[in-house]
Structure 1
Amino acid sequence: MKPSCPCARGARFAALVAVLAACGALAACSHRADNTWQGYVEGEFVYLGSSQSGKLTQLDVARGQEIAASAPVFALESVDETAALQQAQQQLAAARAQLADIQTGKRPPEVDVTKAQLAQAVANARKAALQLTRDEAQYRVGGIPKGQLDDTRAAADAADAQVRELTHEVAVARLPGRSQQLLAQAAQVEAAQAAVAQAQWKLDQKRVSAPAKGRVYDTLYRVGEWVQAGNPVVQMLPPQNVKVRFFVPETVVGSLAPGRALTIHCDGCASDVKAKITYVSSAAEYTPPVIYSNESRAKLVFMVEAHPSVDDAPRLHPGQPVSVTLQ
C-alpha cells in the first residue's frame, strides 16, 4: 500500500481537532448552571357552576376570552325561582301588614264610633240621674209608689254602668294587641323574611359571575343544554393561580425558603419573568427503593413552587416548559 502523504495526514489531524473542539463547545453549551433548573407551568383552574339545576339559557363568555372580576359568565332558566321569590315577597308584605294592624289597635273611625256611643250613654245617664232625683222627691211626699222609685234607681244604675263600659271600650280600642299575639306575629314576619332570603339566594344561583379576573380556558355546555346542580359550565384560570413547578436535588433544597426571588425563562417570551418561591416540599418526590447511601441520596429531588406576579402571570401557559434561575 502506498504510504499516506504527509499533507493528507495533516489535513485529517486538523479535521479531528476541529471535531473535538466542536464537541467540547457543544458540551459546554449543554452544561447547566448550578442555580438553574428545569420546570413547567401549572394552572389551578376554577370551575364555575351553579348549586341549582336548570337549562342553560345564556353563555356570556367564549374560550380564550379575558374577563374581569364580577363579569357575567352564564345564566340558567329561572322562571320557577322568580315566581317563588314573588310569592315569598307577597307573604312577607302580608305578615308585616298584620303586625302593623295589631300594633296600632282599632282604626280611628272605629274608635270614633265607640266615642259616639259613649257620649250617648253619658247623656242617658244624666237623664236617668235627673229622673231619679225627681222620683225620690215624689216618693218622699207620697206621690209615687216605692216600686216606681226602684225602677228609676235601677235605670240610673244601668245608665252609669253603660258609661263605664263604653269608657273602657274606648281605652281598649286604642291599645295594641296582646304581647303574646305581637310576639307570634313578629315571628311570622321573621319567617317570611327568611323565606324571601332563601328564594332570592336560589334565584341568584341561576346567574353566575366571575369570582376574579382571568382567562376562560373552556366552556363545557352549550346554550339549551340541561345542567345538573354542581356541574361546571365554564373553566377559567385567574392569574394568581398560575405557578411554576421545578425540582431540585437534596443538596440544594436546604437553602431554599418561601419568598426567595427567581427568574423564569420560557421560549418565545420577550423577557424573563420574575417570581418568588411560595412552597418547598418537605418530602422527596422520587425515592430509590433501596436504603439510603451516598449514591442514592443524589437521586432524591424535591418539588418547589413559585408564583409570578399577577401582571406577569398571563405570559405563562399551563404545561409550558421553563427554566428557573435562582437569585
Structure 2
Amino acid sequence: MMRIRSRGSLAWRGPLCAALLALSLAACADKGPSRYQGYAEADLVFVGPDEAGRVTRLDVDEGDRVKKGQPLFEVDADLQQADVDSAAASLEQAKAQLADLQASAQRPQEIEVLQASKRRAEAALELSRIELGRQQDLYDKKVGSKAALDTAQATFDQNKAALDEINKQIEVGRMGSRDAQIGAAQKAVDAAQASLEAAKTRLARRKLAAPADGSVETVYFRPGELVPVGRPVLALLPPDLIKMRFFVPEPDLNRFKLGTRVQMSCDGCGGGVAATVSYIAEDSEYTPPVIYSLDERSKLVFVLEAKPDEPLKLRPGQPITVEIAP
C-alpha cells in the first residue's frame, strides 16, 4: 500500500509563507523583476501493508538511502499463510473431483464397444429364447426333463439381464449432463487456482520493498507495534518528487511558460541548481496582509513550480531564490 502526500507546503502556507512573499516583492523592488523567492517542496511516498498486522522486521531507519526493490519491512503473515494453505487444499480437492469425472466419462470409442456388446447380447438372448421355447415344447410333450427346462429359463433370464445392463451403460455414456459436470468441475478448479494466487499475493505483500530510489524520511511503526489498516509504516522521499515552488508577480508572468529554464540559488546549494518550469497556476493569489502599503496589497502573485536537474541538492522547506536562466 503506497500513498503520496506533499511535504514542505503546509508549514509555509501560514505566516512564514507571507514573509517569503514579502521578501519576494522587496527583492523585486531592490534588484529588479528577475529574482523570485520560494521554497523547496516534495511529495512523500507512504508505504504500508494492505491489511493490519504487527511489524516483525524493520530493515531500514530514518535517513537511510534505499534502492528500488530493496526490502523495507515485514509484517506478521500467519493469517495469510493459513489462507494459502487452505486455498492449496481446495485446489487439490477440485482437481481430484475433475479427474474422477473425466475418468468415468465414456468416450465415443467406448460407446462403439458397448454397441458391439449389445449386438452380441441380443444374439445370445435370441438364441436362449429359441432354446427356452424348444425345451418348453419338449417338456409339454413329456419328452424333455424339468431340469433342462429350468436351465434354458435361467439362461434366457441371464442373457436378458446382460442386455439390459449394456443398454444402461450406453444410456449413461450418452448422457449430455456428463460434459456439463466436467465443465463445472473444470470451472471449480479454475476458481480454486485463482483463490490460491490471490492468497499468495496477499502473503507476498506482507513483505514490503522500496517502490523507488529515495531516502527514508520518517518511520512511524517499529518491530512489535501493530499497524492499523490504512496506516503507513514509513515515509519515503524519491528524488524525482522534489520540486521548486516560487512566486511571480502578475506583471512578470508573461516571462514564463511551461518548459522555461530557470536557475535556483539557496544557502549551501553550491553554485545553484538548474530547473525546468513544470507548472503555472491558473489563479492568482493576493499578497499577504503583512504588507501594509495599499499599493503593494493590491498586487497579485502566481505560484509556479519547477523540476530541478539535481534534486538531491534541495531539502523540503528550504528557502530558494529563482531567476530565469540566461
Q: TM-score range by the shorter chain?
A: 0.7 to 0.9
Quote the Cα distance in structure 1 between the aligned partners of 2:208 and 2:140.
99
For the Cα contact (< 8 Å) 2:90–2:192, is it kept in 1? yes
Displacement of 1:131 in angstroms is: 8.6
Deviations 1:73-95 (A, max 9, x none): 11111112112211111111111
Q: Judging changes above 3 Å, is the alpha-carbon distance between structure 1 residues 296 and 154 closer, same or farther for their aligned structure 2 residues?
A: farther
1:316 corresponds to: 314
SS of aligned partner of 2:181? helix
1:268 corresponds to: 268
Instruction: In structure 2, give the amino acid aligned to 1:158.
Output: D
Q: Is residue 2:197 matched to residue 1:211?
A: no
Deviation larger for 233-242 or 193-202:
193-202
SS of aligned partner of 1:232? coil
Q: Is residue 2:45 matched to residue 1:40?
A: no
**Rg larger for:** 1
For the Cα contact (< 8 Å) 1:61–1:73, is it kept in 2? yes
Q: Judging changes above 3 Å, is the alpha-carbon distance between structure 1 residues 200 and 137 closer, same or farther for their aligned structure 2 residues?
A: closer
Quote the Cα distance in structure 2 between the aligned partners of 1:221 and 1:288.
39
Quote the Cα distance in structure 2 between the aligned partners of 1:179 and 1:73.
50
Q: Judging changes above 3 Å, is the alpha-carbon distance between structure 1 residues 271 and 197 closer, same or farther for their aligned structure 2 residues?
A: same
Instruction: In structure 2, give the amino acid aligned to 1:238.
Output: P
Quote the Cα distance in structure 2 between the aligned partners of 1:181 and 1:127.
38
For the Cα contact (< 8 Å) 1:125–1:156, is it kept in 2? no
Quote the Cα distance in structure 2 between the aligned partners of 1:241 and 1:93.
47
Quote the Cα distance in structure 1 between the aligned partners of 2:241 and 2:288.
32
Runs of 5+ unmatched residues, structure 1:
1-27
Displacement of 1:236 in angstroms is: 0.9
Displacement of 1:226 in angstroms is: 1.4
Displacement of 1:162 in angstroms is: 3.4
Q: Is residue 2:249 matched to residue 1:246?
A: no
Deviations 1:135-179 (A, max 9, x none): 469839956369888756644443333333444566578789723
SS of aligned partner of 1:45? strand
Displacement of 1:216 in angstroms is: 0.8
Quote the Cα distance in structure 2 between the aligned partners of 1:104 and 1:47.
53
For the Cα contact (< 8 Å) 2:35–2:323, is it kept in 1? yes
2:201 corresponds to: 201
2:101 corresponds to: 102
SS of aligned partner of 1:223? coil
Instruction: In structure 2, give the amino acid aligned to 1:101.
Output: D
TM-score norm. by structure 2 comes to 0.73
Q: Judging changes above 3 Å, is the alpha-carbon distance between structure 1 residues 101 and 73 closer, same or farther for their aligned structure 2 residues?
A: same
Instruction: In structure 2, give the amino acid aligned to 1:253.
Output: L
Quote the Cα distance in structure 2 between the aligned partners of 1:164 and 1:49.
71
For the Cα contact (< 8 Å) 2:216–2:236, is it kept in 1? yes
1:192 corresponds to: 192
Q: Is residue 2:61 matched to residue 1:62?
A: yes
Instruction: In structure 2, give the amino acid aligned to 1:282.
Output: E
Runs of 4+ in structure 1 displaced over 3 angstroms?
A: 124-131, 133-157, 165-177, 294-298
Q: Is residue 2:300 matched to residue 1:300?
A: yes
Displacement of 1:130 in angstroms is: 10
Instruction: In structure 2, give the amino acid aligned to 1:47.
Output: F
Displacement of 1:106 in angstroms is: 7.0
Deviations 1:12-61 (A, max 9, x none): xxxxxxxxxxxxxxxx9x94243221211001111111121111111111
Instruction: In structure 1, give the amino acid aligned to 2:87.
Output: A
For the Cα contact (< 8 Å) 1:75–1:207, is it kept in 2? yes
Quote the Cα distance in structure 2 between the aligned partners of 1:209 and 1:318.
24
For the Cα contact (< 8 Å) 1:76–1:207, is it kept in 2? yes
Runs of 5+ unmatched residues, structure 2:
1-26
TM-score norm. by structure 1 comes to 0.73
Instruction: Give the alignment's Cα RMSD to 1 decimal.
Output: 4.0
